Structure 1
Amino acid sequence: MNTETTQALAPVRQFSALMPSSPRGAQLARHAAVRQLTSWERPFERAEHVVAELASNAVRHGHVPGRNFRLTLRLAASGVLRVEVSDTCAERLPRAPGPGPADPDAESGRGLLIVAAIADRWGTEFGPDPRKTVWAELDC
């Protein structure tokens, strides 16, 4: 897992929304990202997959009853898009993908492999308690 973030500058454009911590919320997050990137006239295909995986992980592994997750998109002047999905379950950390192939019979465990393959960088941040954010950056 790469924890280096390259674009700490203020974003040129930003979108943020709370989503219900449910499968429907993960789907809404994906649709919202596509809609927002389309309105910014930016390609959305890679980001759509990243949002789908991170939102699905937030619902599946970061769900706390009665609490939503947050989707944030930040577009820097350089064209780097940062996708962030924050939940309130900091004690459940994402595990970096292992070096070998995922178990073909497993029902889960491929999401971060997909994120690592699509994104140029990804990592996690903590705080304020009990928040955890999993982020991915996509270069232009």
Structure 2
Amino acid sequence: MPSDASVCLVRPTLYAWTACLLNLAPGEYRPVERARACALVACRNWRVDGGDLVLVIAELLTNAFEHAGLVGEQRVLVRICWRRHLAELELEVVVPQTGFVLPEFGDVDPDAESGRGLVIVRNLVRTFSCEERTPGQQVFRAVLDAA
């Protein structure tokens, strides 16, 4: 279960259920694993398959912690929303960085040792985007089918 540093909240809103995983930092003990565990708990409560969601969370958080250049107490926010009426799961990963542009998705070099994470994400989701929401924050947003 998450520590106090990453709180898992599941609450209903008017049209959806939301699970928030807050304050994940790369220096904390296994933040990606904790986020995955919270997502699985939420999906079990909602009675939806969370397999693809957990993989997408792992890929996006790993990228954030390895490539965003987080320093000090900078944290990543993960928000998951289940929209029952649309049969979809929405994932947002908010990263304190700017200037990232999603790469063109072409063929992956079979000899490369990395670079497949976002390709995997792209193939598991309905839609995937990256945008600057506020100065200094970028939001990676993915929408997946909820079965």
**TM-score above 0.5, yes or no:** yes
The question of whether the paired residues in 2 share the 8 Å contact of 1:80 and 1:139 is answered with: yes
Structure 2 unaligned blocks of 5 or more: 1-13
Q: Which has the higher contact order (CA 8 A, sep 6+)?
A: 1
* 2:126 equivalent to 1:123: no
User: Is 1:33 paired with 2:39?
Assistant: yes
1:4 corresponding residue in structure 2:
none
The count of corresponding residues between Structure 1 and Structure 2 is 129
Tell me the SS of whatever aligns to 2:98: coil
Match of 1:15 among 15, 19, 26: 19
Structure number with larger C-alpha Rg: 2
Residue 48 of structure 2 aligns with an amino acid whose one-letter code is R
Paired residues of 1:83 and 1:135 also in contact (CA < 8 A)? yes
CA positional deviation for 1:11: 4.7
User: Which residues of 2 match residues 54-69 of structure 1 at below 5 A?
Assistant: 54-66=60-72, 67-69=74-76
TM-score, reference length from structure 1: 0.82
Runs of 4+ in 1 over 3 A off after TM superposition: none
SS for the counterpart of 1:82 is: strand
Cα-Cα RMSD: 1.8
Which of 108, 111, 132 does residue 105 from structure 1 map onto? Answer: 111
Percent of pairs identical after alignment? Answer: 26
> Greater share of strand residues, 1 or 2?
2
In 1, the alpha carbon distance for the partners of 2:113 and 2:65 equals 15
Q: Cα distance 1:11–1:104, how it changes in 2: closer, same or farther (>3 A)?
A: farther
Instruction: Give the counterpart of 2:92 among 69, 84, 92.
Output: 84
